[in-house]
Structure 1
């Protein structure tokens, strides 16, 4: 393994799992990759949510099979490196312990390669300076850059650990709205494992050697050539909705990675053609989030409306259908 294989800097540690660690537990594999740190230390990091595997929070007993990207944030190394930036935040709810934020499409959640700043994290540090003391500034889960909708952010360590527990045991529920190509007849469940694409390591794919992934969907509205779905995740794999919908033949409108090339239905309404040509992101919105408050032990649920670009797209679909 060379420095070119794994980039390490003062904020963030990233490792690509080599094939020779096939079948190893995450904690053991990371101990091998991150020299100088004991297995007990690595296990503590995993419990604290400081370790991700392909952008997902693992259990220490989860296994790796080669090709996964393991990322580690070590607070003592990372603190003070990120810049606080005045980025507007749409706060749906907040108290002393957590925030619920409606993230717009186009906003990256966390600094990384190609996006060193101007992220949600930079905005959090500006509006909530105390969050600098928390790993990832309190961010406990992510949305893709071009996916809009609700996210939870912790403001205290107790809240952060409690939310991580709910993410790991899948008791934190999220519902998405997705506009897909084609007419979906009825709701169903996709139960297919997801892992790295064998042909393109930057993508995810249904892969029998991947991790369990379960997606439930039901029809919300059916149009002439498209369907609006309500989607619930039983698991939380990277790009899960996008991968599963493409796998069953109903890719998301506008998805630049897993979708089809721009498809304009024949004889469609001019407004729909215009909207489809201008819609440059996956039509996916995290509409609802439901959890038990980790500090005050209260059930909470929040919803937000679809953003204007998806509303305009649906209006055009309805006009095409009429």
Structure 2
């Protein structure tokens, strides 16, 4: 276990004729387009991005021929440490890393999980990730959700991936086992926000952030359904909240699972497996995005984890035992 040293970014550019007379923050966004506008504005305000050696305000005008110079230090959070935790990496180059997250791994340090997280593992695997906000993590999976995640290895890749997520051009498709028999697929368009009383939970609420999920049936069982869900937005607990909202909560979901249900006259093995399923039955199966450096469309698929497959097998056997 080791802490990560701070690292410094140095960039320099001359304002071309066609950008002369514009606001500093607008010019900086053009000249240093690998960094987000909000990050550049913060560096300007902190005096880390100067014009001809002087500190200006983001709205100040800059002239053609002026030299913009950026000298910014990326500081690691004090509690962030690099830890040698095994990662299941499915793709990696100098720009991005795609991994298969196991159940039980928290993505980002928080209260109760100061270390032992995916972020700590990433800092060990790629120490330079200290240069990137949240060590390159641009989207999250819940602790007990398995499957594919993309991580940015550079500031430039992070900026491009965040833009894609905001533009909804990243395709994230999940599979879940839900309680109840779903008759047909549908779209859930229902805003999500913090639950009024239980602050650790999310809920469909008026005034929440827009949230859209599309689900379809893969396989029906006697009292459960295997579904595929495509996210259009990425709100906290979105699939879990949306499926519970339409009356089909996920198997094993401790927060949104609702009433435990078993098929009538089911085998003791199936009853026990449904009752003891250790997590929400949710897996990030497919991930598709434009590579942040090449622009090439890329797609990955993650096989279903063993516990998910075992439960599907038991549900299939139960259905076949009662056919006819």
Give the TM-score taking structure 1 as reference length.
Answer: 0.76
CA distance in 2, matches of 1:84, 1:114: 18
Please state how far the C-alpha of 1:276 moved relative to its aligned partner.
1.1
Q: Deviations over 1:80-107 (max 9, x none)?
A: 6411111110001111110000000110
Question: In the alignment, what sits opposite 1:296?
Answer: 294
The 3-state SS of whatever aligns with 2:188 is strand
Contact persistence 1:79–1:133 (CA under 8 A)? no
Query: Against the structure 1 CA distance between its residues 200 and 46, is the aligned structure 2 distance closer, same or farther, given a 3 Å change threshold?
Result: farther
Question: In the alignment, what sits opposite 1:194?
Answer: 192
Counterparts of 1:141-220 in structure 2, within 5 Å, are: 141-220=139-218
Rg: which structure is higher?
A: 2
**2:323 paired with 1:316:** no
Question: In the alignment, what sits opposite 1:44?
Answer: 38
Please state how far the C-alpha of 1:269 moved relative to its aligned partner.
2.3
Please state how far the C-alpha of 1:78 moved relative to its aligned partner.
3.2
The 3-state SS of whatever aligns with 1:136 is helix
RMSD: 2.0
Aligned pair count reads 256
Please state how far the C-alpha of 1:75 moved relative to its aligned partner.
7.2
Structure 2 gaps of 5+ residues are: 1-35, 43-71
Q: Deviations over 1:51-86 (max 9, x none)?
A: xxxxxxxxxxxxxxxxxxxxxxx9755346411111
Question: In the alignment, what sits opposite 1:20?
Answer: none
The 3-state SS of whatever aligns with 2:148 is strand
Contact persistence 1:139–1:154 (CA under 8 A)? yes
Please state how far the C-alpha of 1:47 moved relative to its aligned partner.
8.9
Contact persistence 1:105–1:148 (CA under 8 A)? yes
Structure 1 gaps of 5+ residues are: 1-41, 49-73
The 3-state SS of whatever aligns with 1:142 is coil
Give the TM-score taking structure 2 as reference length.
Answer: 0.75
Query: Against the structure 1 CA distance between its residues 269 and 75, is the aligned structure 2 distance closer, same or farther, given a 3 Å change threshold?
Result: farther
